[in-house]
């Protein structure tokens, strides 16, 4: 009989161990990438909703001091909009024509699952008085 050469049991075990390690690292990378895609999607959707809300502020109804709240997508995203007259650092009284809008959008419970925008809007006297 000819002498046959093959793999020993130890070589096969080492090969399977290396394969298992490589698969573990690959699956870990894929799950991390999927988590990043979900996070980017949530941030992108929140930004689009916020942009829509801020664009409509002062157009659909005149700006008035106060706080409004609501949600989008059956409560998945919750928002709070606070409107206040803007006070420049050197001013003693607020300017009635310039308003500060502070919008916070939240989803989930983690501190990283929220975004905040702060912007200024010019309040038109004609809109404030209801003149077309």
Reduce the DSSP state of residue 98 to 3 states and report it.
strand
9-122: CATH, from 2.60.120, 2.60.40, 3.30.310, 3.30.1300: 3.30.1300
- Residues sharing a CB contact under 8 Å with residue 104, sequence separation 6 or more, in sequence order: 79, 80, 114, 115, 116
82-121 pLDDT per residue, tens: 999 888 877 777 666 789 999 999 998 888 899 999 999 8
Please tell me the pTM assigned to this model.
0.67
What digits encode the pLDDT tens for the residues 45-55? 999 999 999 99
Cβ-based burial of 99 (10 A; exposed 0-12, middle 13-18, buried ≥19):
buried
Domain residue ranges in the chain: 9-122
């Amino acid at each position: 009989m000819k002498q046959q050469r093959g793999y020993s049991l130890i070589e096969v075990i080492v090969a399977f161990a290396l394969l298992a390690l490589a698969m573990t690292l690959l699956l870990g990378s894929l799950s991390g990438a999927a988590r990043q895609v979900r996070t980017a999607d949530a941030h992108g959707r929140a930004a689009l909703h916020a942009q829509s809300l801020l664009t409509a502020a002062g157009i659909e109804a005149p700006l008035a001091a106060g706080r409004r709240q609501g949600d989008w997508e059956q409560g998945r995203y919750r928002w709070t909009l606070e409107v206040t007259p803007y006070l420049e650092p050197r001013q003693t009284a607020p300017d009635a024509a310039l308003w500060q809008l502070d919008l916070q959008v939240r989803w989930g419970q983690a501190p990283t699952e929220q975004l905040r925008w702060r912007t200024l809007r010019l309040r038109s006297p004609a809109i404030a008085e209801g003149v077309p």
